[in-house]
Each structure stands twice: as structure tokens, then as C-alpha cells.
Structure 1
Amino acid sequence: MKSLTLAFLLLCVSLCTHASEDVTEDYLLAEADVPEVDFRRGRFFCDSEELQGLRFKYCYRDPGSANNSDIVYFFHGLNGSEKTWHRQFLGTRTIQDWWELRGYRPRIISVSFGPQWLLVNNKRFPLIPYFTRVIMPYLEKKVGGLQGGQRHVIGQSMGGFNAAAISLKNPGMFSRVALLCPAIATIGPFASDREIDAYIRRTGAFRFLVEKMLRISKSVFVDKKDWDNHDPLKLIKKYPKGKKPRFFVSIGRNDGYGFQEGSAAFIKRAQSFSFLFSWVPVPGPHCNFKRIGTANFIMGD
């Protein structure tokens, strides 16, 4: 009982810290060097594998510590890794701590292709079919299979783009999709200088971050048609009729990339096309988001 009370107090201190708007991106994304074998919320197994000529890294929580059949996938942000989920002590690890306090222990899988990658399907990077047809069966076998549960996905920043892309391009695959400070913008890699300048004025984004965002995008997408085929703001309009995933979008109102504008546009389109959603903007910069709200959303509360 004493240890549970202490854990709750530490969690509250961590969460209350985020009320300040003076926090920086590095502060919010900081990771602790936690040994996987000693992690108190369940041991994580981390490794790398090469399948069909492509290498990736992954972590999954010991399935013996799970108490339900759900599988939660996690996609990290820029410069993160497959270990970000259980090492980001003021971010994603807080989500798992809250689950633990509430008695929710799903199987958790985190995958990485490196510090910078986008989950797309084009001539340069045919990753989406590789992920769904090769990686998912491989890793789900390691955690005991779906067992009648539901798949959920959480994506942070760059990983938020990846979570949106895979869920919108694979109808019915994921039940709940949490997009945390997602890299969703109202301009694309082939925007004109005038469009970029207008975006920066509207959103208050930092020019150097916008330029970084566009530089990364240009290295991935072949042309404007390719970008349009992956832009979450366009994909959500093309989603077929039938069962739709439920979305949770949370982002800082002063996001340095201007992603708050794209996130709001995404939610507006989700509403227009009859998706269930939760829209939770919060004070602060990139990458602030509602921790407990995210945890409760995945739990179904």
C-alpha cells in the first residue's frame, strides 16, 4: 500500500509539472536510461531483426505481465528509438504508469527503423505493407497473438504521422488511435515560398523547425501526387464506409512546428466524416500532450 501511494504521488508531481508553458521540447522528450530488465512496470525485451532484407529494432513488454488481450503499438518521435516508450519518464512512460495504477496491462510493442523515418508506401520506402504483412505477424507471435483483443496505436510527433497513416490506410486494423503532438501540417514538402511564409505567420511556428520538417518530407516523398497520397488531411476524406477507428488528438497550443493548425484541421475533417474523436489541445510547446487523457482513451474510459 505504501509503495502504491508513493507511486501515485510521484505520478502526480510529474503530471503537475507540465502545467507550465515554459517547458521546452527537449524537456518533454527527455528519456531516462532505464535498464529493460529492471523496469518496474514489467520487463521489456528489446532486439533487432532483419526480415526480407530490411532491418528494424523493436521492444515488447513481457506478455506474462499482461492481464488482457489488447495490443498497443507505439511509434516514437524524431530522434527517438524503440526504447522511447518505457524511457520517456515525463511523457509516454507516464501513460503506462497510469495504466498500472488502474490495473490495465496490455501487450505493448514499439518498433523503429531509426531516429528518422516515415511510415509510407512509395517507390523509395514501401514500408506500410512491409510493416503490416511482415513485422506485425512476427512481433504479435512473440506476444502470444491478438487473442480476440483489440489493436490500438499511439504515435508521438513524427510517430503521430505514422500512426495516422497506417490506421487510415488499413481500415479496421486499429480500434483506437492516439495522436500526440502529431506531425500533421497544413502545408506539404512541395509548398511554395509564399505558402511557407503564410504558414509561419498564421501558426507562429519557428522557421528553422518548419524548414527541418519540409527537408525531411522532401527526402521521403517523390512528388506532390505522392505526398497527397499520404497526407493525413486527405486520407481521412478517403476512408471507406464501415467501422472507423476512434481518434484522440492532443497537442500544445504553441507547437514550434505549427502542428496545432494541422491537428485542428484533422479533427474538423474527422467530425465531417463521422469519426468518433477526442480533441484535447493543451498549453505549451511541442511536444506537450494530455498524459492521463491519452491513457484513459486507450483504456476505453
Structure 2
Amino acid sequence: MCAAAEKGPPRSRFACRKHAVWSAKPACLDQAGCIHSGDGQPMTEQLAEHCQELLAHFLGRTRTAVAVLDREGTVTGANPALANLAGMPGDSFAGRRLEDIVAPSFREPFLEAIQEACLGARVEIRLSVLSLDGLLRPCALQIWPGEDSLLVLLEEECETDEEQAVTGAETPEAFQRHLSLELYRAARYHRPLAVVKCEVDGVEDLRAQYGDEVTGRLLAMIGWALRKHTRRTDVVARMSYSQFALLLPETDLIGAYVAAEKLSQTVRDVSVETALGHLHPTACFGVVAASDTGESTPQTLLEAADWVLSLARRGGPGGIEAAPSVAYRLAG
């Protein structure tokens, strides 16, 4: 992955600090994750102690996920927080590549960041980790270059826990962030991308007839059903009380329409028991596909999805409509 030139890239080291005081001498990691003096001079006992404390500090932290990579990107060491982040057993990372847990839409930027770090740069980017439970976990990533290894720090950015706990869906803000990144990737690499808006039919009537508790439980079940019946790489968000949005990477208009048909049946299969019997909801779906020319923006794509959803609602409960995003601009 990090093929060096004949003379090899200039060695880069990360400084170590203790109690917020930076050491005057640099240090670097070897392939086994041990820290050495990187300037060819013997490391003093005090500096070695400081460096080992730095590594132990990171490896022992519960919130920051830490991995030591060799220059091919293979994990040679990791702390328990990394396993927790990925939803994997603690000993699962030895000999694996860290990119395996990076969400597919972020793998190319991640690999580019590894390349830059191998050339001596300290890199900071944002990406999402795809855990085994199917959740996309936004993270801030730092890569510190060493002589023979890379030190990778992943800090999870928790902002959707409450909504995900209720419906399994992310917040509108998280959806906007994912949409911006996916639009950029779709335009850069000319890949298909679709957005689906879903609105549960007759929610106000349901609240009047069954009450807020039953209706809230019904919407939560719909959210979990949408999450369960979409791919791990898709994003499901709750945009308002009765409306959900789905982001479908690597999916064109036809594929997204087929997905909406299946999800429409998924919503119908949701059942809530009430005093008046079992309640089976329906929902309308509006499907749009982004332009791969870079003309689509998050705002225009969401507006187009709302417009197509309004067309679906005109056809009655359970309606499904689809259109390319350019159709919205032409209609407007």
C-alpha cells in the first residue's frame, strides 16, 4: 500500500508529551508498536518512559479507539475501545486491515489518508465506522506517522444515540452529513446515489383514534423495520414525526424504486396490537436519483425527494413515485 521510493520517504515522528508539556525530542513506532528515538540517537531513559506512558495512555483509554498499523495497513495492536466501536471481539483485529471496518463510502479517503501518513504527514479526517450491528458510527480520525508503523486514533462523535435508541434511525443533521459526503463521492467517482423519502399515512388520524402512545410505538417499529430491511451501507434517518429518509449509495433510480416497493411491504407488515385490534400502517414513498455530474446538492436533492413524495401522496395511501432529480428542476 505504501510503496516507498528508492531512498524511501523522509522519516516522520510524532512528539510525545506528559502533562501537556511536549518533549523536546521526537519519537517513533516500530513495527511491533514499540517506541524508539527517531533521530538515530540513543533514547534517554526519561524520554523512553514518557513515550511508553503516552502509548499506554492511548491504549488504555475507553473512549478513544487506538490501532497500531504496519506500513501495509495491517493491524499489529489495538485497544478494547476499537473492538467496542466495531462491535467485534477484542482479539479480532490481529492481522486484519483496519479498512475492513470503515464504511464503504469512506474507504477511498481512508486509504488516501494512509498513503499520506506513510509519506510522513499527520492526517486528520472524518469518516464512519460500520459496526457489526449495522450502525454507522461517525468518527474523527487521526493518523500519526512513525518510522515503521502508524498510530491511528478514532474518536466516536456521538450525536444520534437518543433517536437511534427509539427508532433505530439517525437524526436529520446526521443524514445531511452523510448525504453531503455521499454526493461528493458520487460526483467524483461517477457512482449512482438515490434518496428515498417515506411518510407514514394518516398519522394525525391515528393519534386521534389510538392516542400518542400507540402511534409513537408504531412509528418506532417502522423505524426499526426500515433499518432492518436495508443494507448496512444505507442510512436511515427520521426527518420529522411521521417522515423518514433513506440514503442508498451505489443505487440508481430503478434499483431505489424496487427497494421502495419492498420497504412499502415492510411497513405493511408492521403490526401493533391495540384495544381495537391489530393496526397495520401504510406509507408513501418518493424516490429520486442524484446526478453524477455534481449538479445535485443536499438541499436540491431533498427538495426533489419531497416533491416526488407529494406526487406519491396524491395517489392515495401506499403510493410510490420515482423521478431523477433533474425532473424536479424542470418542473420547478
Larger radius of gyration: 2
Select the structure with the greater relative contact order (CA < 8 A; seq sep ≥ 6).
Answer: 1
Under TM normalisation by the shorter chain, which class is it?
A: under 0.3
For normalisation by structure 1, the TM-score amounts to 0.27
| Larger strand share, 1 or 2 | 2
